[in-house]
Amino acid sequence: MKKIYQVLIILTLIALIPFSGYTQCKSFAKKVCKLELTPYIHDGNFNAAILTEGEDAELYKTFYAGQNYRIYICGSDALPQIEFQVLDINRNVLYDNRKSNYSKLWDFKLEASQQLIISLRVKGLEGSESEELISGCVAILFGIKEN
């Protein structure tokens, strides 16, 4: 229940972000992040938001059996590392990038169609003397590889 409230709060905050900030973030996703999907074909959706260090967010997406996918997480250079996990609907962890040296991408193929949860968190800067939190654009892009 606590997670649902966190997601609702984050979504509310994202909705309050000025439109120009969202436009810049979406432009960042298109110009910088999309290139990293190659040789996968982008699914056409740009899932991007401005997040602050220490914040987390989740995205639910349906994936289909037998298809090769790439998930790519892209963040502004100013941000600390971004942790991400892919979970099934029962919240079982299928992938955790912390076990892969904070890799920004994951390629996979499912045996059964299912809805997955992409959970990400912008790490806080440890030992930082600055009281100001760093914010930046974070995008989640999906690619499909033609068979």
Domain residue extents for the chain: 2-145
Phi, psi of 122 (to 5 degrees): -85, 120
Q: What is the pLDDT of residue 93?
A: 97
Q: How confident is the model at residue 139 (pLDDT cuts 50, 70, 90)?
A: very high
Read off the pLDDT band of 133 (50, 70, 90): confident
**Quick check: pTM over 0.85?**
no
Q: What Å distances lie between residue 13 and 80, 91, 113, 130, 140, CA to CA?
A: 20, 24, 32, 23, 18
The CATH code of domain 2-145 reads 2.60.120.380
CB-CB contact of 29 with 138 (8 Å): no
Q: What does the alpha-carbon distance between residue 95 and residue 72 come to, in Å, rounded to a whole number?
A: 13
DSSP class of residue 123? Answer: P
Strands of 20-145 (E only): list them: 41-42, 47-52, 56-63, 68-75, 82-88, 93-96, 105-109, 114-122, 135-145
Which tens digits make up the pLDDT trace of 28-61?
888 888 988 999 999 999 899 999 999 999 999 9
Note the pLDDT of residue 128.
57
- For residues 32 and 132, the answer to whether their CB atoms sit within 8 Å is no
Residue 42 tokens, joined = 């982008």
